[in-house]
A and B are shown apart, each in its own frame.
Chain A
Amino acid sequence: AQTVTQSQPEMSVQEAETVTLSCTYDTSESDYYLFWYKQPPSRQMILVIRQEAYKQQNATENRFSVNFQKAAKSFSLKISDSQLGDAAMYFCAYRETQGGSEKLVFGKGTKLTVNP
Chain B
Amino acid sequence: KAGVTQTPRYLIKTRGQQVTLSCSPISGHRSVSWYQQTPGQGLQFLFEYFSETQRNKGNFPGRFSGRQFSNSRSEMNVSTLELGDSALYLCASSLGRVGNTEAFFGQGTRLTVV
- Chain A residues engaging chain B, CB cutoff 8 angstroms: 33, 35, 37, 42-47, 50, 52, 91, 95, 97, 99-109
Residue contacts A-B, CB under 8 angstroms, 11 given: A43-B108, A44-B105, A45-B92, A45-B105, A46-B105, A50-B101, A50-B102, A100-B55, A102-B56, A103-B48, A104-B33
Number of interface residues of B (CB under 8 A): 26
B residues near A33, Cβ cutoff 8 Å: 101
B residues near A91, Cβ cutoff 8 Å: 43
Cβ proximity bits B84-114 to A, threshold 8 Å, 1 near / 0 not:
0000101010101010011111111000000
Quick one: closest A residue to B4, CB to CB?
A: A44
Cβ proximity bits B13-47 to A, threshold 8 Å, 1 near / 0 not:
00000000000000000010101000000111100
Contact of B31 among A35, A44, A102 (CB under 8 A): A102
Quick one: closest B residue to A37, CB to CB?
A: B105
